[in-house]
Amino acid sequence: MSFVTRGFHGRRRDDDGRLPPGQHLTGDFPVLSAGPTPRIPLDEWELWVATEDGTRHTWSWTELMALAADEPTVDIHCVTSWSKLDTTWRGVSLDTILADVETAADYALVHSYGGYTTNLPLEDLLDGKAWVAYEFEGDDLHPEHGRPARLLVPHLYFWKSAKWVRGIELMLEDSPGFWEQLGYHDYGDPWREQRYQGD
């Protein structure tokens, strides 16, 4: 390491190697959003999955609640450089939601209430790696953290974990979402520091 900032010692924290490069721990839960917080009444809420041939599957809030829930404990990493370890959630695995969906798609574009979108490979939503989460640390999600439900994909930077999730579009080809069009990375692996396009 050739570059040194004179007089800077920093504060090392013992994270057992669980902190990806360039990240620091926070005890709070910061918020990254592009606009105001959408408010969605539960009786109007709906989750849809659309496949490449236009088939749509939908779940009402009651139907989502009827699906088997998981309670994952995961570390989360935001591209603005904070990480939070051992966060606990309750939600439905995407494996459960997509179980009966027929598709040959390789990519997903996730849509949110409020217009936000984010893209990721479909395989990153499968095999117990992603959830539609509706509780955080034992409580309903706070509105600014995605109430009533958000995507939770903890192995990627947290902007991929779309808040206020409303639909998943399955596609044969990748198509950039909101931050991705603005220069953020299409994949976003925190361990490879894929913050911006080209990283």
Partner 1 sequence: MARAAIPGGLSARRAWRPARLLERRVESASATTLVLDVTDWPGHLPGQHVDVRLTADDGYTATRSYSLAAPAEGDRVEVTVQRVPDGEVSPFLCDVFQVGDAVELRGPVGGWFVWRPDQPGPVLLVAGGSGVVPLMAMLRARPAVGPPFRLVYSARQPDDVIYREELAALAGTDGVDVRHVFTRRGAPVGADGADGADGADGAGHVRPPGRLRSADLEGAGWGPADAPTCYVCGPTGFVEAAATILASAGHDAARIRTERFGPTGS
Alpha helices in the chain (DSSP H): 61-65, 94-97, 178-181
Judged by CB under 6 A, which stretch of 23-31, 115-123, 147-155, 168-176 contacts ligand FAD? 23-31
Contact 172, 52 (CB under 8 A): yes
**Considering the rule CB under 6 A, would residue 183 count as an interface residue with ligand FAD?**
no
- Token pair for 74: 């995961």
C-beta closer to partner 1: residue 34 or 172: 34
- Which 53-112 residues touch ligand FAD, going by CB under 6 A? 80
Taking residue 4's Cβ as centre, other Cβ atoms within 10 Å add up to 7
Q: Which does 138 bind (CB under 5 to 8 A by kind): ligand FAD, partner 1, none?
A: none
Q: Which does 37 bind (CB under 5 to 8 A by kind): ligand FAD, partner 1, none?
A: partner 1
C-beta closer to ligand FAD: residue 26 or 73: 26
Binder to ligand FAD among 1, 6, 16, 28 (CB under 6 A)? 28
- Which 122-181 residues touch ligand FAD, going by CB under 6 A? none
Is the bond leading into 190 cis (omega within 30 degrees of zero)? no
Q: Site size for partner 1, by CB under 8 A? A: 37
**Considering the rule CB under 8 A, would residue 198 count as an interface residue with partner 1?**
yes
Q: How far is the CB of 80 from partner 1 (least distance, A)?
A: 6
Q: Which does 38 bind (CB under 5 to 8 A by kind): partner 1, ligand FAD, none?
A: partner 1
Binder to partner 1 among 15, 19, 38, 96 (CB under 8 A)? 38
Residue 143: which of 5, 3, 29 has the closest Cα?
29
**Exposed, middle or buried by CB within 10 Å (0-12, 13-18, 19+), for 137?**
exposed
Alpha helices in 49-197 (DSSP H): 61-65, 94-97, 178-181
Helix H or strand E encompassing 137 = none
DSSP states along 143-179: GGGTTT-EEE-TTS-GGGS-TTEEEEEEESS----HH
Binding site residues, ligand FAD, CB under 6 A: 24, 26-28, 80
